[in-house]
Structure formats: C-alpha cells, structure tokens
Structure 1
Amino acid sequence: MKVAGIVAFFQVVDKSKDEMMEKIQTAFKIDREIFWEAVRKLYEFELVDMYEDEIARISDQVLATYLFYLTFLKEKLLNFSFLLDNFFPQFQYNFVDALNPVLSAFDSEEIINILSPEVDRVWKIYEEGGDKKSFIQLMKLFWFVKHKQTNILSYTRNLINKMEEESVDISSLDIPSNSNIDIPPYSILDLLSLFGNSDEQNSQKIAIDLLFRYLTKKPQELPQVFCLLIEVFGFERDSYITQFITQSIVIDKLLEKVNGGKNELFAKLFFGVAEKYLYLQFNTPKLKNNREFLCLWHQFSPQPTPELFDLRNKIWQGIFQLYQIDIFEKEVINIIHQYSKSYSKFSVGEIIKQDAVEVLKFLTDNLNPQDYYHCLIVQKYLDFLESRKIEFNNEIRERFLNGTYEVYRILSDNWNERNNCYLDGKEYKEFKQNQIKKYFANYDFKDYQDFFAKCHEIKAVTKEKNHYYSEFPSGRIAELIFLSCENSELYLDVLKYYLNFGDPFQLNYFLLIEKLIKISGVEKAFELLNQFDFASKRKWLFGFYNLLPEDKITSDYLEKLYNLYRESKLDEIPERFDFLLKYRDLDKNVVAQVTEIILSQINEQTNFPDPFYFLFNPYTQVNHILIELFKEKLYLLKQAYLSSQKIKGYSSNSEDIFIRILDADQYFIIEYIDWVYDEERKFSNFRDDLNYTFLWKHENYQELITQVVEHIYQREKELSNSGFRNTILERIFVLEVTEEEKVVFEDRQNQLLKSVIENRYTDIDLLQLLFSVTTTFPYERRYQFIDLFCQYNQNFEYFKKLPIEPYVKNHKELSSEDYILSSSKNIEATHKIVEYLESLLPIFNTIDLLEHKQYLEKEIKYFEKWIEDEKKRNFIED
C-alpha cells in the first residue's frame, strides 16, 4: 500500500530515471528492488499499469486519489512530511494534482487538520529561509489551511508597505479593452489572486483592500488589477450560490475608493469593472486538469436573483452618481451606449427589465433632449429594450427627438423599424426612399444649408465618441440630394454649396455627377467640378470621365484623363477598368496605357489594395479581352499580373489569367519562376500559392515542364543551395484534380521523371532535386523511381545523397503519411514509414547493392527505436 501511495503521488514512476529512484529510496527508506517487486504485485492486482516492466502508473485517477488519501492522510502509512521535506518545491504540481481532488472528494476539514502541523512546520522553515520564490510557492499550495490566509495577507501587506509610491499622470492610464492579461508569477498580485476562491469574506475584503493599496502605489499596473477583478473576483456560473457576495465586495470597496469621484484612478477602475459586471453573458474556461485550461469556454448568464438585482442596482447608481462630475460624463454615457449593444443567447429579459428601472430614470432626469448625442443614446437604448420586448413609456422616445436626430433617423437604417414593418431588403429600400422624398419634399436652399449643418453635428459626434462608421450614414446623403432636389437650379446651388465646403461627407459622387451632366451638359458639368479645390476632387473627376457619354468623348478629354491618372495617388484611382473601353476608338491601347501609369505609381507608394483586382476579375468586360487589350504591350500585362499576385496572393482566377498569358508567350513560366525566386529571397513571408496543375494539362506539357525543371536546376546551382530541395518544384508536382484525372496526370509525371532518371542518372545534383519532389508522393509511388535509379547507377555515395525518407515539412501539399508524422508524431504513421523502407529492401538483393541494404536497415532500426520511445512517452503522459 505504501508503494501504491508513492506512485499515486508521482503519477508516473520510471525505473530508468536514477535520480527519481534515489530520491524515493532516500525519502521513504525503501530499497529499489523491493519497491519494484511491490509494483509488480500491484500490477497483478490490476491496481497499476506497467510498460515494459520499467514504468508504472495508477490505472485510474479516482483510484489514485483514494490511494494517496489512504497512504498519506487517513491511515498515515507514510508521513506527509516525507513528501514536503524531500519533494517540495521541485514537485509542486504533483502536490496540486494530489491534494485538490482529495480535498474535493473527502472531508476537507479533517484533511486540513491533518496537514496543518506539517504545513506549519515547513512554513516556518521557508519563512525564515529567505527563499522568496519557494515560500510563495508554499503559500499558493497551502493557502486553504487554517490561519494561513491571514499569514499570506500579513506577508503581502508587509511587501506593499515597503513599496515606494510611483508618481504617474492618471489621465494617461487606460483600462484595456479585454481582461486577458498575464499576472507575473510569484508576485504580490499572484498571491492576492488566491483570494478569489476564498470562502472567508473577511479575507476577501482585506485582499481587495490590499489590492487597492497596491494600485495606489503602482498606478501603472491598473490593467493587471483590472484583470484580477474581472477574471479572478468576477462572475462564475455558480456565483448565485454565494449570493454574488464576492462581486458585491468588489463594488463596495471600489465605490469607497472612488470617494464620490474625488479619486480619478479608482473612478477609471470602477467604470471598467462596472461595464464588465453589467454584461448579460459571461464566459468561463473549461478546466482540463488542476492547473491547465482547455481553449473551450462555457457561456452563461447570471441567475436573476434578488441579490443580483441589488448588485446591479448598486453598480448603476454608482455610475450615475459620477455623471455630475464633468470629466466622467463621457464615461457614464459610454457605458449606457455599450450596454445598449449587449448580446446574450440566454433569456435575460428579467435582468434587462430590472436594469431599465434605474437607467430610464437616469435618462429622463439627466439627459437633454436638445442635445443630439443624448437623443441618440436614449433612442439606441430604447431600441435595445424594444428588441428584447421590454415595455417602456413611449413618451420618452417622442421627447428625445430633436431636429438633428430626425435627420439621423431619416438617413439611417433601423432594424427594429424594418422588422416591425415586416419588410425584406428591397421593400425596405423603397420604404426609405419614399420616406426621404416625403421628408425633404419642400426643402429650399436655406433648409439644405441647415441640413448640412446637422450632418456636420452628426459626424462630429460620431468621430468624438469613437462610434462605428455606420453611426454616420454618409452613404444616404447623396441619395437624398439626388432624389429630393427635383428643381434643377436648386440642385446646382446645393451641389456648389456642398463642394465649396470640400466634400466633408465623402459622398457617393456617381449619382450626383450623373444628375449634374443631365442638367448642365458635359462641358458645364466639367467646368463646375473644376471650380472648387477639395481633397476628393480627383475622385469626382474620375467619376465624370466614367459617366462621360461615349459620343461626347474627345482626344482632349482622353489626354486629361491620362494626366489625372498620372497626378493621382493609388487610393484616388478608380478600381474598375471597364469604362476605359469606350475610349478605345481614340487609343486602342488605353487600358495598357493606364496600366503602365498605375505600375509606375506602385513603385512609388506602399500599403495599398490591389489596383488590378477588377482588371483580372472574371466578371468584368476587360477581363474577357485581356490579351487583345495588351497585344502590343504584353509585358505590361505580365507586370500587372505579378503585382496583383504579390499584393493579394492567390485567387480562383489566377490560373486562368496565367494560362492566357502563357498561350501568348510560353516563356512566361520561366519569368514567373524567376519572379518567385526573387520574392522569396526578398521577403521571408512570401507565399506562392499558384496551382500549377494547369501545366500538366497543357498540350506541350513535357516541353514546358522539362524546361522548368532545367531552369530551376540551374537557379539552384547558381544559388549554391545545398540539398537541392525546392518548394517551387514540389508545388509544380502537386495535382488538384478529380480521381479520374489524377490517374492520367500522375502517369505523365511518372513518365517525365523516369525519362530524366534514365537520361541523367549520373547527374546526382539534378536527381537530388527531383527525388526531393518524390518524397511528397505516397510511399507506394516512390518505389519505382528508387528501383529505376539503382538499375542505372549503383554508386553508394550517390544513393546516400538521394532524399528517399520522409522529412518534416510545413507546406500544405504533403502526402497524407508525412502530414500525420510531421503534425503529431503519430506512431501509426511511423509504422508506415518502417513498412515503406522495408518494402524497398528487395531492390537491394544483389551483390552490388549490399552496402545500400545495410544503410537502409540502419534507418529502419532508427525509426523502430523512435516508435518504442514514443510509446513510452505516451504511456507516461497519458
């Protein structure tokens, strides 16, 4: 039984680990042979599992817990002090894994009483020993023992009292957006985190007081303290059982420190914690074992108990009390704004309804209906209540409707409005257009001036409050002007007035220019657009050239368009190329000319989206006639293609474009490979994702790929690459085809490889390159190439250079066997490697190849040993 308890503590005991065995022998005064004889008897009784008669572990976790409890605590067959004196802190996690389930499964009070004398003894040793790290480890392990919480708090207090208070500009400190912040191990914060699980309310209160004293001295660690209050002292699934007392203590202590708003540091902390505590849904990590968490989360909402309602009321009241202080006004409003976007997949209507009592009272008593932002906050909150079917007095909605908010409401989409009217997308669009026409039907010039002023107010609030861009509905302003300005003279006056202000709302100019040309004609429209200087003027001019009727195009307009391209930055240039086709009567190379200008801009600018996306988009007109458009300047199409590949990477249309260029110039494949080489050398994160399968489908595939292989070979020699493994060549041999097509194209690959082996069998550098490709093939397919090589070349030194074994790769095109090996070191996959190598042995059953066979048998032994070692490791870690 003693041996069973020892194994239960260590979880796994390995006979080959001499250091561990010596410690066990010394600590428990038990001979090694006697120990293992006892282990074998336990194995016979099926109490332990054994591996190869040298590794032992208890067969079941529950059994291990019971055996440890029986041996060290209940029957005391071995003194717990043996463990403490000999194996702490080196095996601290074994203590955690042994004690936690015992405390959960048995009478924890009794166990604590048993442990206390030994813990007290060791505690004194470490306290006087000066080893701070080990002492903290001991505190963390036995914090649950009687009176030790007080000792830990006293120790922590002394450390904090010795700290110097830092001088920090509080206004520069911010609460982080999330609470996933690492707490330094063996730190004061690490110790205080123990009290998140304490059942002692007084200890929790003191711990939080100490936490706040620590923050007062170290304000820079505001994020870490915030993290503790959310992640350690925050909500758990079962917080309702303790009546949310921990969270209530946090809020009470915080409000004390806030002191009515006089303490800015703690006010910041309070706002951050309050926002998190008011969530309607929480996540808690799933425990893997006693010290690790899985990346899985349990979602839950707090139970709607009277204690929860009291806590939330306390939080809301604390928030609203701070509204009267100017510097906190924005924070209070922001919390309501964030709360109005709350989501929960659980039924939380009762909680929201209870919250609404406090929130609605605050909104009606304190916010100003003449303030647009206040109207926005109130209306968003009421939308939130409405979406959750919470009733409220509709007079509040009617009261908070000022002129600016009315404009915002008309311009914006409202999901509640759409759902209440039971409209689909198209119907709601028509509904909004009619709403706009009706609202702006009688607008005169002065009204539009007032309208733009209100838009400025909406935009300013959106920017100042850091709301989502959708909070400022600029997209509908152009639609509004287009729809509502039916009077031509009024339309021109409004447009001039707007452009004179510099297009402040970045409107969709196509609608406006289209109407401008219709009203004024081409020349006057062009003249009007050039009257004003504003940041987005070039975009508006591009819009003009895009909408210019084909019968009005002149060589002068075309030349001006070229100059506009030359003067513009990439983010001002239109994405689409189709409109250029109507200029081809004046210059058949217009698309190529514009492409050349854009390419010159790319060389001068950085950080931009792909300007050629719509040139290569399969649904555009220019894409259908690409080769014709670049017939005289094919080199520009090549450059544009390479630029697009570099910026946006692989797309579903990449192969189609490549094939069309290749049909026009078969040397393009060589140019492309050179480009890939250059990019890979310049940028470590460059990825060539082109699917080269089309090469094997080409009617001249043998000629094409043979020259590709030769070119890559020469490039590798120039670069003096050792090993000659080439990922470009590997990707060329990857097939993305149906199973039926695969048979045909694999045969083409096999014949090409065999042809090279038969004709170049003495060129070992080339064969190294090609055989590196075959290592990505399934095992059974590799045999034929090794066999063929050995028929033509029996040189052992050459054979050793051939990469015939799997190696760890990280590219997506891996054979299934190698992928399993490289990703998980799977034993089954390694067995397949051994089987593969053994399948090669018959090739070497000749006198001339005996050395080859010896070499291969040695490799087989290496993998077999790896399998045994891996089995042993798996047994230990399982």
Structure 2
Amino acid sequence: MSFSKYHHQLLVKNLIEVSGIEETYLILAEANHQNKHEWLFDFYEHLPKSKISPERLDQLYYLYNSAESRELPNNWDYLLNYQAIESEVISKITEIIVIKSKVNINYATSLFNLFNHFSEVNKEIAIHFAGKTGLLKQVYLLWLNTYQNGDHDGSNFDYFLDQDSNFIVEYIDWMYKKKKWVSRHDDHRNYSFIWKRDDYHEIMIKAAERIFQHEKGDYPYSFFHVFFGVKEENHELQKITSRKKEFLMQLIEDRYSNVKFMRFVFGLISILSEDDRPSLISRYTCLNNNFEDFEQLSLEPSSRSWSGSAVPMHQRRVDFLQTLIPLFNTVSLLEHKHYIEQKIKNIRDEIEREKKRDFMDG
C-alpha cells in the first residue's frame, strides 16, 4: 500500500470516528476532489458491520460501476462484511469488473487479491462462487492476462482441476488462442501440484494430447515442457521425478507406433537428465525397432550452452551417447548402433576442431 493510500484511509477512518457515519458520507459524496472515488471506497471499507444496510450496498455497487480502473481497491476481504445483506456480493462485484475489463483490461488488475491465497476471500472462494465456476474461471484467465506470473504455486489452478479435470484443456486452448506458438517460456507456473494429485496421469494425458494437437509435433520448444520443469523440496522431488518418468514410459508403451507423437514426446525426453534418458530410449526400441522411425527422434537437447571452451560440453555428449551403445546389441538394432556410433565420431571430430580453435585463440 502506498503512503498516500494509507494516508487518506487513515483520514477517512478518523473522520468516521469524529463526525459519524452519515456526516462522513455526505462530506465525501459531495466533495469535488480527484480522489473522491478512492475516498468513498475507504468509507465502505471502514464502515462498521452493524451500519451496513441495503442502501449502503447499492451505493457500493454504483461506485464500482462508476470508478476508473486506478480507483478500484485491491482489498476484497472487506466485502465479507456485506454478505449479511447480500450473500452473492463478491460474485456480483466480480461480474461488474469483468464487464468493465472488456472495455479496459486495466480493471482486471484489481482482481489480484481475489486469487491471493493469503486473503480471506480466497480461502473460501468455492463458497463465494458456488454455482458460478464458469464465471470464476473466466475471471481467473482474465486476471492472468494482466499478471503473467499470477498463481505461481498453482493453488487456484489446482482448485479448478478439482472441479473439472478438463480445465487443463481449457487452459491450454486459452494459451494458444492468445498466440500461435506457445513455448515453455510463456508460462512460469510451478506445476508440481499436478504431479502430487492422484489423477495426475489423466490430467497429463489430456495436456499431452491437446498440446500435440495444437503444435502438430513440430515445435522444438514445446509448451509441454513447462509441466516437467517443476520445482519442489527434496522430500517431494523423488516422488515427482518417479511419476514423471512412469508417465513418459506409459506414453511410449501406448503410442510407440505413432511416429509423430513419439517425436513430440522425445522432444521432451531429450531435455531430461543423462541418467533418465537411456531407459526410455531402450523401452521405445524394444517396442519399435524400425530404424527410420528411430532416427526421427531427438536424443539430445536441441540447444546447448557453455562457457569458455566447448570441448567439455561435447565430451559430455559423447559420454552420454556411449551409454546407449549397449542398448543396441542385437541384430535387429544393428542399424541403430551404427547410427549412434556415427554421431559419436562426428562429435569427436568436432572436439578436435574445437581444441585447435582453443589453441589458436589461446
């Protein structure tokens, strides 16, 4: 809260204590001041619960309808005092903001504390929007348009999944409606909460299928990756890592014959750790030994970064690819083995060239 905001809130509170409710309202309502609406909001925020009436609530509705976006309060908790007069006051004021946001998106910035899990309103959001889940989802997505990093821990997202697991599909469609190409850089939410759910597999299948449908399997920085870059405490990390790997293994077992979908899945597998990739690659080649299908799959990340000499980075690539050689020690996978061996040779040639460049630059 800014100092000026705190200052005029204190003035209004003191004015109520000194002059009383009616006199304070008349002073503020009849004032010709640029902050008149903000001062009136302060009046309704500090109005004692015993003094709230249907007339005061109607005045408040009118104020929300007439205020500019910058004048709207961020506080939603004070509206709980008005529920004795109108149980749906929170959803009704939300509807007012939605309508005004269609004309000016800046009105949606006032929705922040509606989805702030530290606010009292958010703690019982299901009650405040009982029978109006559609409205709440609309408001949530509207708010995210103004606050890209909103709901970072996914507590509100998780609530919507509790209501309907298809919300994951609605959210993905919404993301692709905003822009044609969506990548992992367009969403910074920590999706650990999905992997902790009992229905994580059902939800992630829906996510995979929908994103594949949008991307056609041809986008190297897939939006699908964002659901795997989770951040979690150590005691939860092992469980989540295990579930992610089991999920990818199941995708391979269910869709190994769909080459386009496997390209999509291996785009993700390619960015996993060197320890996690071999078992997934092995499972795929056990189910599908067609070399032409195999050579379309990404086995390594499509982008790399390093500092100084590139030799250590290329050597790590060689070390990883060498761990794959034993996977192909059968006649049916001989072509796969030669393919990997050629990759190793090409990288080693690049290492020698890089060493020469390092020597010349040194």
TM-score, normalised with respect to structure 2? 0.90
Does 2:23 match 1:524? yes
2:346 matched residue in structure 1? 862
Supply the AA of the counterpart residue of 1:767. M
What's the offset of the Cα at 1:608?
Answer: 7.2
Equivalence for 1:799: 294
Residue equivalent to 1:845? 329
**CA distance in 2 between partners of 1:600 and 1:572 (Å):** 16
Cα pair distance change 1:741/1:546, threshold 3 Å? closer
Question: Do 1:627 and 1:661's aligned partners in 2 also have CA atoms closer than 8 Å?
Answer: no
Q: Is the 8 Å Cα contact of residues 152 and 189 (structure 2) preserved in structure 1?
A: no
Which residue of 812, 836, 841 maps to 2:320?
836
Letter in 1 for 2:361: E
Please point out which of 263, 273, 286 is paired with 1:768: 263
Q: 1:617 to 1:848 in 2, by over 3 A?
A: same
- Candidates 202, 224, 229, aligned match of 1:729: 224
Give the structure 1 partner of residue 278 of structure 2.
783
Match of 1:650 in 2: 149
Matches within 5 A, 1:679-698: 679-681=178-180, 687-698=186-197
Instruction: Give the counterpart letter for 1:758 in structure 2.
Output: E
Give 1:570 deviation, angstroms. 1.0
**Structure 1 residue 867: Cα displacement:** 1.1
2:88·2:128 contact (CA, 8 Å) conserved in 1?
yes
Shift in alpha-carbon separation, 1:609–1:588, aligned structure 2, 3 A: closer
Moved more, 617-626 or 639-648: 639-648
| Counterpart-to-counterpart distance in 1, 2:18 and 2:84 | 27
Structure 1 residue 727: Cα displacement: 3.0
The 3-state SS of whatever aligns with 1:762 is coil
Determine whether 1:575 maps to 2:59.
Answer: no
Q: For the residues of structure 1 that align with 2:83 and 2:186, how far apart are their CA atoms?
A: 37
Look up the equivalent residue of 1:831 and give its one-letter code.
Q
* Deviation (angstroms), 1:802: 0.7
Structure 1 residue ranges, 4+ long, deviating more than 6 angstroms after superposition: 682-686
CA distance, structure 2, for counterparts of residue 696 and residue 863 of structure 1: 36
CA 1:686–1:768: 2 relative to 1, 3 Å: closer
* Post-superposition CA distance 1:817-862 (Å, at most 9, x none): x5xx456663212111111112212222222222222222221122
Distance 1:758 1:824, change over 3 A: farther
Alignment of 1:659 onto 2:149:
no
Deviation at 1:726, TM superposition (A): 5.0
Which one-letter code corresponds to 1:762 in the other structure? S
- Between the aligned partners of 1:596 and 1:657, the Cα distance in structure 2 is 19
User: What is the CA RMSD across the aligned residues, in angstroms?
Assistant: 2.6
- Greater Cα radius of gyration, structure 1 or 2: 1
In the alignment, what sits opposite 1:742? 237
Instruction: Between the two structures, name the one with larger relative contact order (CA 8 Å, sep ≥ 6).
Output: 2
Mapped contact 2:249–2:280 kept (Cα < 8 A) = yes
Which residues of 2 match residues 277-676 of structure 1 at below 5 A? 475=4, 508-606=7-105, 610-650=109-149, 654-676=153-175
Q: Using the TM superposition, give the Cα deviation of residue 681 of structure 1 relative to its aligned residue in structure 2, in angstroms.
A: 2.9
- Deviation track 1:455-477 (CA, whole Å, cap 9, x = no partner) reads xxxxxxxxxxxxxxx9xxx95xx
Could you list the runs of 5+ residues in structure 2 that have no partner in the other structure?
none
- Aligned equivalents of 1:528 and 1:738: distance in 2? 54
Structure 1 unaligned residues grouped into runs of 5+? 1-469, 476-505, 809-817
User: Which amino acid in structure 1 is aligned with residue 335 of structure 2?
Assistant: E
User: In structure 2, do the counterparts of structure 1 residues 769 and 701 end up closer, same or farther at CA, with 3 Å as the change threshold?
Assistant: same
Q: Distance in 1 between matches of 2:278 and 2:52?
A: 67
Structure 2 contact 184–222 (Cα < 8 Å) conserved: no
TM-aligned CA deviation for residue 751 of structure 1: 2.0
- One-letter identity of the residue aligned with 1:513: V
Deviations 1:93-132 (A, max 9, x none): xxxxxxxxxxxxxxxxxxxxxxxxxxxxxxxxxxxxxxxx
**For residues 638-682 of structure 1, what are the alpha-carbon distances to aligned partners after superposition, in whole Å with 9 as ceiling and x for unaligned?**
233323333233257542222223223322222222222233438
Residues 676, 688 of structure 1: 8 Å contact kept: no
Deviation at 1:604, TM superposition (A): 1.9
Give the SS at the match of 1:849. Answer: helix
For 1:616 and 1:747, locate their aligned partners in 2 and report how far apart those are by CA, in whole Å.
31
Q: Which amino acid aligns with 2:282?
A: D
| Contact 2:220/2:267 (<8 A) preserved | yes
Q: Which residue of 1 aligns with 2:310?
A: 826
Q: Deviations over 1:477-529 (max 9, x none)?
A: xxxxxxxxxxxxxxxxxxxxxxxxxxxxx893222222332333323322222
Distance in 2 between residues matched to 1:757 and 1:842, nearest whole Å: 20
Q: For 1:639, give the aligned amino acid.
A: Q
Q: Deviations over 1:616-645 (max 9, x none)?
A: 233321122122111222223223332333
Q: Is the 8 A contact 1:649 1:688 kept in 2?
A: yes
Q: Distance in 2 between matches of 1:567 and 1:834?
A: 66
1:714–1:822 CA distance, 2 compared to 1 (3 A): farther
Any residues of structure 2 matched to 1:694-713 within 5 Å, and which?
A: 694-713=193-212
Q: Name the aligned partner's letter for residue 515 of structure 1.
A: N
Q: Letter of the aligned partner of 1:655 in structure 2?
A: G
In 2: Cα distance, 1:745 partner to 1:507 partner: 44
Distance 1:649 1:778, change over 3 A: same
State the Cα distance separating 1:607 from its structure 2 match: 5.8
In structure 2, relative to structure 1, the CA distance for the partners of 1:630 and 1:824 (3 Å cut) is farther
> Contact (CA 8 Å) 1:726, 1:769: kept in 2 or not?
no
Q: What TM-score do the two structures reach when normalised by structure 1?
A: 0.39
Please give the alpha-carbon distance, in whole angstroms, between the structure 2 residues aligned to 1:702 and 1:684: 22
1:787–1:843 CA contact under 8 A, matched in 2: yes
Q: Secondary structure at the match of 2:112?
A: coil
Change in CA separation of 1:619 and 1:751 when aligned onto 2, cut-off 3 Å: closer
SS in 2 for 1:689: coil
Query: How far apart are 1:774 and its partner, in Å?
Result: 0.9
- The answer on whether the counterparts of 1:616 and 1:653 sit within 8 Å (CA) in structure 2 is no
> What's the CA shift for 1:760?
1.5
Q: How many residues align?
A: 361
Question: Paired residue for 1:170?
Answer: none
Query: Partners of 2:130 and 2:310 in 1: how far apart?
Result: 54
What is the alpha-carbon distance in structure 2 between the residues aligned to residue 654 and residue 641 of structure 1? 14
CA distance in 2: counterparts of 1:685 and 1:829, whole angstroms: 23
Instruction: State, as a whole percentage, how many aligned pairs show the same letter.
Output: 33
Moved more, 751-760 or 604-613: 604-613
Equivalent-residue separation in structure 2 for 1:681 and 1:578 (angstroms): 38
Residue type of the partner of 1:690? R
Cα distance in 1 between the residues matched to 2:335 and 2:323: 17
1:874 maps to: 358
| 2:244 counterpart letter in structure 1 | Q
Q: Secondary structure, in 3 states, of the residue corresponding to 2:190?
A: coil
**CA–CA distance in structure 2, aligned partners of residues 841 and 544 of structure 1:** 74
The equivalences for 1:235-246 within 5 A come to none
**In 2, Cα distance between the equivalents of 1:614 and 1:653?**
14
Alignment of 1:137-156 (within 5 A): none
C-alpha separation between the residues in 2 aligned to 1:669 and 1:770? 18
